[in-house]
Amino acid sequence: MTEKLLEQFKQIFKTDQPVRTFFAPGRVNLIGEHTDYNGGHVFPCALTFGTYAVVGRRNDQIIRMYSVNFPDVGVIELSVHDQLARKKEHDWANYPKGVIKEFIDRGVQIETGFNVLYYGNIPNGAGLSSSASIELATAVALQSIMETTFSSVELVKMSQHAENEFIGVSCGIMDQFAIGMGKKDNAILLNCQTLDYQYSPIVLEDASLIIANTNKRRTLADSKYNERRSECERALSQLQKQLSIKSLGDLTPEQFESNRHLIESEVDQKRAKHAVYENARTLQAVEKLQQGDIESFGKLMCDSHNSLRDDYEVTGFELDILVEAALNQEGVIGSRMTGAGFGGCTVSIVKNDKIEAFIQEVGSRYSEKTGLQAEFYVANVGDGAKEM
Protein backbone atom coordinates (compact mmCIF):
# COMPACT_ATOMS: atom_id res chain seq x y z
CA MET A 1 0.00 0.00 0.00
CA THR A 2 2.58 2.60 1.11
CA GLU A 3 4.90 1.83 -1.85
CA LYS A 4 2.09 2.67 -4.28
CA LEU A 5 1.24 5.87 -2.40
CA LEU A 6 4.88 7.00 -2.40
CA GLU A 7 4.95 6.52 -6.18
CA GLN A 8 1.74 8.55 -6.57
CA PHE A 9 3.16 11.27 -4.31
CA LYS A 10 6.21 11.61 -6.60
CA GLN A 11 4.01 11.78 -9.72
CA ILE A 12 1.51 14.31 -8.36
CA PHE A 13 4.00 16.67 -6.73
CA LYS A 14 6.89 15.99 -9.16
CA THR A 15 9.44 15.66 -6.40
CA ASP A 16 11.85 13.14 -4.88
CA GLN A 17 11.85 14.86 -1.50
CA PRO A 18 11.93 12.65 1.64
CA VAL A 19 8.46 11.90 2.96
CA ARG A 20 6.80 10.51 6.08
CA THR A 21 3.62 8.44 6.14
CA PHE A 22 0.84 8.64 8.74
CA PHE A 23 -2.32 6.61 9.26
CA ALA A 24 -5.58 7.19 11.10
CA PRO A 25 -8.19 4.40 11.25
CA GLY A 26 -11.94 4.38 10.77
CA ARG A 27 -14.04 3.36 13.75
CA VAL A 28 -17.10 1.30 14.58
CA ASN A 29 -19.18 1.79 17.71
CA LEU A 30 -20.15 -1.51 19.32
CA ILE A 31 -22.83 -0.04 21.58
CA GLY A 32 -23.77 3.38 22.96
CA GLU A 33 -25.38 5.22 20.04
CA HIS A 34 -26.44 8.88 20.17
CA THR A 35 -25.24 8.97 23.78
CA ASP A 36 -22.03 10.94 23.16
CA TYR A 37 -23.63 14.39 22.82
CA ASN A 38 -26.02 13.45 25.64
CA GLY A 39 -23.17 13.13 28.15
CA GLY A 40 -23.28 9.35 28.29
CA HIS A 41 -20.92 6.44 27.56
CA VAL A 42 -19.90 4.95 24.22
CA PHE A 43 -17.95 1.79 23.36
CA PRO A 44 -16.16 2.19 20.01
CA CYS A 45 -13.05 0.56 18.57
CA ALA A 46 -10.60 1.59 15.85
CA LEU A 47 -10.49 -0.47 12.65
CA THR A 48 -7.56 -1.55 10.49
CA PHE A 49 -8.71 0.45 7.46
CA GLY A 50 -8.63 4.23 7.40
CA THR A 51 -6.79 7.24 5.95
CA TYR A 52 -3.14 7.45 4.89
CA ALA A 53 -1.31 10.78 4.65
CA VAL A 54 2.05 10.98 2.86
CA VAL A 55 3.76 14.27 3.79
CA GLY A 56 6.89 16.05 2.56
CA ARG A 57 8.22 19.46 3.67
CA ARG A 58 8.66 22.19 1.04
CA ASN A 59 11.24 24.97 0.84
CA ASP A 60 8.62 27.68 0.28
CA GLN A 61 5.44 28.72 2.09
CA ILE A 62 2.94 26.82 -0.03
CA ILE A 63 0.73 23.96 1.20
CA ARG A 64 -0.45 21.57 -1.53
CA MET A 65 -2.98 18.80 -0.84
CA TYR A 66 -4.24 16.00 -3.08
CA SER A 67 -6.63 13.10 -2.46
CA VAL A 68 -6.39 9.87 -4.43
CA ASN A 69 -10.11 9.40 -3.62
CA PHE A 70 -11.15 12.70 -5.24
CA PRO A 71 -8.88 13.08 -8.28
CA ASP A 72 -11.38 15.38 -10.03
CA VAL A 73 -10.88 18.04 -7.36
CA GLY A 74 -7.18 18.14 -8.26
CA VAL A 75 -4.43 19.68 -6.12
CA ILE A 76 -5.66 22.20 -3.54
CA GLU A 77 -3.08 24.93 -3.02
CA LEU A 78 -2.84 27.55 -0.28
CA SER A 79 -0.22 29.65 1.45
CA VAL A 80 0.78 29.34 5.10
CA HIS A 81 -0.19 33.03 5.33
CA ASP A 82 -3.74 32.54 3.99
CA GLN A 83 -6.68 33.36 6.20
CA LEU A 84 -8.10 29.84 6.37
CA ALA A 85 -11.82 29.75 5.61
CA ARG A 86 -14.10 26.97 4.51
CA LYS A 87 -14.56 27.03 0.74
CA LYS A 88 -17.11 24.91 -1.07
CA GLU A 89 -14.77 24.34 -4.03
CA HIS A 90 -12.13 22.91 -1.68
CA ASP A 91 -14.52 20.03 -0.98
CA TRP A 92 -12.77 17.25 1.06
CA ALA A 93 -9.75 19.52 1.77
CA ASN A 94 -11.82 21.62 4.18
CA TYR A 95 -11.30 18.87 6.80
CA PRO A 96 -7.48 19.10 6.86
CA LYS A 97 -7.71 22.90 6.50
CA GLY A 98 -9.85 23.03 9.66
CA VAL A 99 -7.19 21.05 11.55
CA ILE A 100 -4.37 23.29 10.25
CA LYS A 101 -6.35 26.28 11.54
CA GLU A 102 -6.61 24.63 14.98
CA PHE A 103 -2.80 24.47 15.18
CA ILE A 104 -2.44 28.10 14.07
CA ASP A 105 -5.13 29.23 16.56
CA ARG A 106 -3.06 27.61 19.33
CA GLY A 107 -0.02 29.70 18.40
CA VAL A 108 1.84 27.17 16.22
CA GLN A 109 4.00 29.02 13.67
CA ILE A 110 3.83 27.21 10.33
CA GLU A 111 7.12 28.47 8.87
CA THR A 112 7.31 26.38 5.68
CA GLY A 113 4.79 24.66 3.49
CA PHE A 114 4.37 20.98 2.71
CA ASN A 115 2.91 18.58 0.15
CA VAL A 116 0.44 15.99 1.41
CA LEU A 117 -1.22 13.13 -0.44
CA TYR A 118 -4.23 11.44 1.19
CA TYR A 119 -5.75 8.07 0.48
CA GLY A 120 -8.64 6.51 2.39
CA ASN A 121 -9.93 2.95 2.15
CA ILE A 122 -12.96 3.51 4.41
CA PRO A 123 -16.10 2.79 2.34
CA ASN A 124 -17.61 6.15 1.34
CA GLY A 125 -20.78 7.15 3.16
CA ALA A 126 -20.69 4.04 5.36
CA GLY A 127 -20.78 6.02 8.60
CA LEU A 128 -17.43 4.56 9.75
CA SER A 129 -16.07 8.06 10.24
CA SER A 130 -13.95 8.98 7.24
CA SER A 131 -14.13 12.68 8.18
CA ALA A 132 -12.69 12.16 11.68
CA SER A 133 -10.10 9.81 10.16
CA ILE A 134 -8.76 12.47 7.78
CA GLU A 135 -8.79 15.01 10.64
CA LEU A 136 -6.66 12.78 12.91
CA ALA A 137 -4.33 11.76 10.07
CA THR A 138 -3.71 15.48 9.53
CA ALA A 139 -3.34 16.18 13.26
CA VAL A 140 -0.71 13.47 13.89
CA ALA A 141 1.16 14.48 10.72
CA LEU A 142 1.25 18.17 11.71
CA GLN A 143 2.26 17.27 15.27
CA SER A 144 5.27 15.34 13.90
CA ILE A 145 6.45 17.70 11.19
CA MET A 146 5.89 20.84 13.30
CA GLU A 147 7.42 19.13 16.36
CA THR A 148 4.57 20.25 18.63
CA THR A 149 3.84 18.51 21.94
CA PHE A 150 0.05 18.35 22.18
CA SER A 151 -1.23 15.28 24.03
CA SER A 152 -3.19 12.68 22.06
CA VAL A 153 -6.39 13.79 23.83
CA GLU A 154 -5.65 17.42 22.86
CA LEU A 155 -5.27 16.38 19.18
CA VAL A 156 -8.64 14.59 19.49
CA LYS A 157 -10.30 17.74 20.90
CA MET A 158 -8.72 19.92 18.20
CA SER A 159 -10.03 17.61 15.48
CA GLN A 160 -13.54 17.63 16.97
CA HIS A 161 -13.42 21.43 17.29
CA ALA A 162 -12.41 21.69 13.60
CA GLU A 163 -15.44 19.63 12.60
CA ASN A 164 -17.78 21.60 14.89
CA GLU A 165 -16.58 25.11 14.05
CA PHE A 166 -14.84 24.96 10.65
CA ILE A 167 -17.00 22.33 8.95
CA GLY A 168 -20.16 23.20 10.91
CA VAL A 169 -21.18 19.68 11.99
CA SER A 170 -22.06 19.55 15.70
CA CYS A 171 -20.73 16.02 16.27
CA GLY A 172 -19.89 14.62 19.69
CA ILE A 173 -16.34 13.57 20.52
CA MET A 174 -16.67 9.80 20.08
CA ASP A 175 -15.42 9.50 16.49
CA GLN A 176 -12.27 11.52 16.97
CA PHE A 177 -11.58 9.90 20.35
CA ALA A 178 -11.87 6.32 19.05
CA ILE A 179 -9.62 7.16 16.08
CA GLY A 180 -7.04 9.11 18.05
CA MET A 181 -6.89 6.79 21.06
CA GLY A 182 -7.64 3.36 19.55
CA LYS A 183 -5.70 0.31 20.72
CA LYS A 184 -5.27 -3.01 18.90
CA ASP A 185 -7.72 -5.72 20.02
CA ASN A 186 -9.42 -3.33 22.47
CA ALA A 187 -12.53 -1.18 22.48
CA ILE A 188 -12.73 2.02 24.55
CA LEU A 189 -15.35 2.67 27.20
CA LEU A 190 -15.53 6.47 27.11
CA ASN A 191 -17.48 8.80 29.37
CA CYS A 192 -18.22 11.59 26.88
CA GLN A 193 -18.92 14.12 29.62
CA THR A 194 -15.66 13.74 31.59
CA LEU A 195 -13.48 12.04 28.91
CA ASP A 196 -12.57 9.36 31.47
CA TYR A 197 -11.85 6.21 29.50
CA GLN A 198 -10.70 2.63 29.88
CA TYR A 199 -9.60 0.00 27.38
CA SER A 200 -11.49 -3.26 27.32
CA PRO A 201 -10.09 -6.28 25.43
CA ILE A 202 -12.37 -7.64 22.72
CA VAL A 203 -12.24 -11.37 23.27
CA LEU A 204 -14.96 -13.01 21.18
CA GLU A 205 -13.54 -16.57 21.41
CA ASP A 206 -14.75 -18.30 18.23
CA ALA A 207 -16.71 -15.32 16.82
CA SER A 208 -15.93 -12.13 14.86
CA LEU A 209 -17.31 -8.65 14.32
CA ILE A 210 -18.91 -8.27 10.90
CA ILE A 211 -19.73 -4.81 9.53
CA ALA A 212 -22.43 -4.69 6.86
CA ASN A 213 -22.79 -1.54 4.74
CA THR A 214 -26.34 -0.83 3.52
CA ASN A 215 -24.95 1.18 0.57
CA LYS A 216 -27.92 3.50 1.02
CA ARG A 217 -27.14 7.17 0.54
CA ARG A 218 -27.45 8.75 3.99
CA THR A 219 -29.51 11.73 2.85
CA LEU A 220 -31.36 12.32 6.13
CA ALA A 221 -28.53 11.68 8.56
CA ASP A 222 -27.32 15.27 9.07
CA SER A 223 -30.71 16.99 9.32
CA LYS A 224 -32.19 14.29 11.58
CA TYR A 225 -29.02 14.29 13.71
CA ASN A 226 -29.46 17.99 14.45
CA GLU A 227 -33.19 17.47 15.07
CA ARG A 228 -32.55 14.66 17.59
CA ARG A 229 -29.94 16.79 19.32
CA SER A 230 -32.36 19.63 19.85
CA GLU A 231 -35.12 17.25 21.04
CA CYS A 232 -32.74 15.89 23.69
CA GLU A 233 -31.59 19.39 24.68
CA ARG A 234 -35.22 20.44 25.14
CA ALA A 235 -35.95 17.36 27.27
CA LEU A 236 -32.84 18.03 29.37
CA SER A 237 -33.74 21.68 30.03
CA GLN A 238 -37.24 20.65 31.19
CA LEU A 239 -35.78 18.00 33.52
CA GLN A 240 -33.27 20.53 34.88
CA LYS A 241 -36.09 22.69 36.25
CA GLN A 242 -36.37 20.18 39.08
CA LEU A 243 -33.27 17.99 38.82
CA SER A 244 -29.64 18.94 39.40
CA ILE A 245 -28.16 17.23 36.32
CA LYS A 246 -25.69 18.32 33.64
CA SER A 247 -26.77 15.84 30.97
CA LEU A 248 -29.17 12.98 30.26
CA GLY A 249 -26.17 10.71 30.92
CA ASP A 250 -26.45 11.63 34.63
CA LEU A 251 -29.77 9.79 34.98
CA THR A 252 -30.40 6.12 35.72
CA PRO A 253 -33.42 4.51 34.00
CA GLU A 254 -35.22 4.51 37.39
CA GLN A 255 -34.62 8.25 37.89
CA PHE A 256 -35.79 8.92 34.34
CA GLU A 257 -39.05 6.98 34.84
CA SER A 258 -39.77 8.91 38.07
CA ASN A 259 -39.29 12.24 36.31
CA ARG A 260 -40.28 11.71 32.69
CA HIS A 261 -43.55 13.62 33.30
CA LEU A 262 -41.43 16.82 33.46
CA ILE A 263 -40.83 16.48 29.70
CA GLU A 264 -43.83 18.05 27.98
CA SER A 265 -43.63 16.44 24.55
CA GLU A 266 -44.17 12.70 24.13
CA VAL A 267 -41.64 12.68 21.26
CA ASP A 268 -38.99 14.37 23.42
CA GLN A 269 -39.72 11.83 26.18
CA LYS A 270 -38.95 8.98 23.76
CA ARG A 271 -35.70 10.59 22.64
CA ALA A 272 -34.57 11.15 26.24
CA LYS A 273 -35.59 7.61 27.18
CA HIS A 274 -33.30 6.21 24.50
CA ALA A 275 -30.34 8.33 25.67
CA VAL A 276 -30.78 7.27 29.31
CA TYR A 277 -31.43 3.57 28.71
CA GLU A 278 -28.72 3.28 26.03
CA ASN A 279 -26.18 4.70 28.47
CA ALA A 280 -27.14 2.09 31.09
CA ARG A 281 -27.05 -0.66 28.43
CA THR A 282 -23.54 0.36 27.38
CA LEU A 283 -22.16 0.08 30.92
CA GLN A 284 -23.88 -3.27 31.36
CA ALA A 285 -22.63 -4.55 27.98
CA VAL A 286 -18.98 -3.76 28.80
CA GLU A 287 -19.35 -5.56 32.13
CA LYS A 288 -20.74 -8.64 30.34
CA LEU A 289 -17.91 -8.59 27.80
CA GLN A 290 -15.32 -8.41 30.57
CA GLN A 291 -16.98 -11.43 32.21
CA GLY A 292 -16.74 -13.34 28.93
CA ASP A 293 -20.54 -13.39 28.61
CA ILE A 294 -20.74 -12.74 24.86
CA GLU A 295 -24.36 -13.95 24.64
CA SER A 296 -25.55 -11.23 27.03
CA PHE A 297 -23.44 -8.64 25.20
CA GLY A 298 -25.16 -9.69 21.95
CA LYS A 299 -28.62 -9.40 23.49
CA LEU A 300 -27.84 -5.85 24.66
CA MET A 301 -26.76 -5.00 21.09
CA CYS A 302 -30.19 -6.14 19.87
CA ASP A 303 -31.94 -4.10 22.61
CA SER A 304 -29.90 -1.10 21.48
CA HIS A 305 -31.12 -1.48 17.89
CA ASN A 306 -34.74 -1.80 19.01
CA SER A 307 -34.45 1.40 21.03
CA LEU A 308 -32.83 3.25 18.10
CA ARG A 309 -35.69 2.03 15.91
CA ASP A 310 -38.64 2.64 18.25
CA ASP A 311 -37.64 5.47 20.61
CA TYR A 312 -34.98 7.39 18.71
CA GLU A 313 -36.37 6.57 15.24
CA VAL A 314 -33.08 6.78 13.33
CA THR A 315 -32.82 3.33 11.75
CA GLY A 316 -34.93 3.25 8.57
CA PHE A 317 -36.03 0.40 6.32
CA GLU A 318 -32.60 -0.72 5.07
CA LEU A 319 -30.90 -0.94 8.47
CA ASP A 320 -33.91 -2.74 9.95
CA ILE A 321 -33.91 -5.30 7.12
CA LEU A 322 -30.17 -5.97 7.60
CA VAL A 323 -30.55 -6.49 11.35
CA GLU A 324 -33.68 -8.62 10.95
CA ALA A 325 -31.95 -10.78 8.29
CA ALA A 326 -28.87 -11.12 10.54
CA LEU A 327 -30.88 -12.25 13.55
CA ASN A 328 -32.56 -14.95 11.48
CA GLN A 329 -29.17 -16.53 10.76
CA GLU A 330 -27.62 -19.36 12.72
CA GLY A 331 -24.49 -18.35 14.63
CA VAL A 332 -25.45 -14.68 15.11
CA ILE A 333 -24.97 -13.54 18.71
CA GLY A 334 -26.11 -9.93 18.28
CA SER A 335 -26.70 -7.26 15.64
CA ARG A 336 -27.46 -3.54 15.59
CA MET A 337 -27.15 -0.40 13.51
CA THR A 338 -24.03 1.62 14.23
CA GLY A 339 -23.40 5.31 13.55
CA ALA A 340 -25.85 8.16 12.97
CA GLY A 341 -28.47 6.03 11.20
CA PHE A 342 -30.65 6.45 8.09
CA GLY A 343 -28.24 4.26 6.15
CA GLY A 344 -24.65 3.45 6.93
CA CYS A 345 -23.77 0.18 8.63
CA THR A 346 -24.76 -2.55 11.02
CA VAL A 347 -22.34 -4.41 13.27
CA SER A 348 -22.94 -8.06 14.18
CA ILE A 349 -21.16 -10.71 16.24
CA VAL A 350 -21.10 -13.91 14.19
CA LYS A 351 -19.63 -17.35 14.95
CA ASN A 352 -16.56 -17.88 12.76
CA ASP A 353 -17.83 -21.11 11.19
CA LYS A 354 -21.04 -19.32 10.08
CA ILE A 355 -19.52 -16.17 8.56
CA GLU A 356 -19.61 -17.37 4.95
CA ALA A 357 -23.26 -18.46 5.19
CA PHE A 358 -24.09 -15.21 7.04
CA ILE A 359 -22.67 -13.03 4.26
CA GLN A 360 -24.39 -15.03 1.54
CA GLU A 361 -27.81 -15.34 3.19
CA VAL A 362 -28.03 -11.84 4.68
CA GLY A 363 -26.76 -10.30 1.43
CA SER A 364 -29.32 -12.20 -0.61
CA ARG A 365 -32.24 -11.37 1.72
CA TYR A 366 -31.24 -7.70 1.83
CA SER A 367 -30.95 -7.43 -1.94
CA GLU A 368 -34.32 -9.14 -2.42
CA LYS A 369 -36.06 -6.72 -0.01
CA THR A 370 -34.33 -3.45 -0.93
CA GLY A 371 -32.87 -3.82 -4.42
CA LEU A 372 -29.49 -2.74 -2.98
CA GLN A 373 -26.28 -4.73 -2.62
CA ALA A 374 -24.82 -4.81 0.91
CA GLU A 375 -21.06 -5.02 1.44
CA PHE A 376 -19.56 -7.04 4.30
CA TYR A 377 -16.27 -6.61 6.18
CA VAL A 378 -14.76 -8.76 8.88
CA ALA A 379 -13.68 -6.05 11.33
CA ASN A 380 -10.16 -6.25 12.69
CA VAL A 381 -9.55 -3.99 15.66
CA GLY A 382 -6.45 -1.84 15.22
CA ASP A 383 -4.43 0.98 16.76
CA GLY A 384 -5.26 4.68 16.75
CA ALA A 385 -3.70 7.42 14.62
CA LYS A 386 0.11 7.16 14.29
CA GLU A 387 3.14 7.45 12.04
CA MET A 388 3.66 4.35 9.93
Q: Which residues are catalytic?
A: 175
User: Residue 260 gets which letter from DSSP?
Assistant: G
Give CA–CA dist 78/58, Å, rounded. Answer: 13
CA-CA-CA-CA torsion sign (43, 49, 51, 54): positive
Contact 331, 358 (CB under 8 A): yes
Q: Nearest Cα to 199, choosing from 185, 212, 213? A: 185
Give CA–CA dist 84/74, Å, rounded. Answer: 19
Q: Nearest Cα to 157, choosing from 139, 137, 183, 134? A: 139
Three-class DSSP category at 97? helix
CA-CA-CA-CA torsion sign (254, 257, 260, 266): positive
Q: Hey, what's the torsion of the CAs at 83, 87, 93, 98, to 10 degrees?
A: 50
Quote the strand ranges of the chain, DSSP E. Answer: 20-29, 41-42, 44-57, 62-67, 76-79, 114-120, 186-191, 197-201, 207-213, 332-338, 345-351, 375-379, 386-387
Helices 266-290 and 294-310 pack at an angle, to 10 degrees, of: 170
* CB neighbour class for 167 (10 Å; exposed up to 12, middle 13-18, buried from 19): middle
* Ramachandran angles phi, psi of 192, nearest 5°: -75, -15
Per-position b or e across 73-109, b if 16+ CB within 10 A of its CB: eeebebebeeebeeeeebebbbbbbbbbbbbeeeebe
Give CA–CA dist 131/275, Å, rounded. Answer: 24
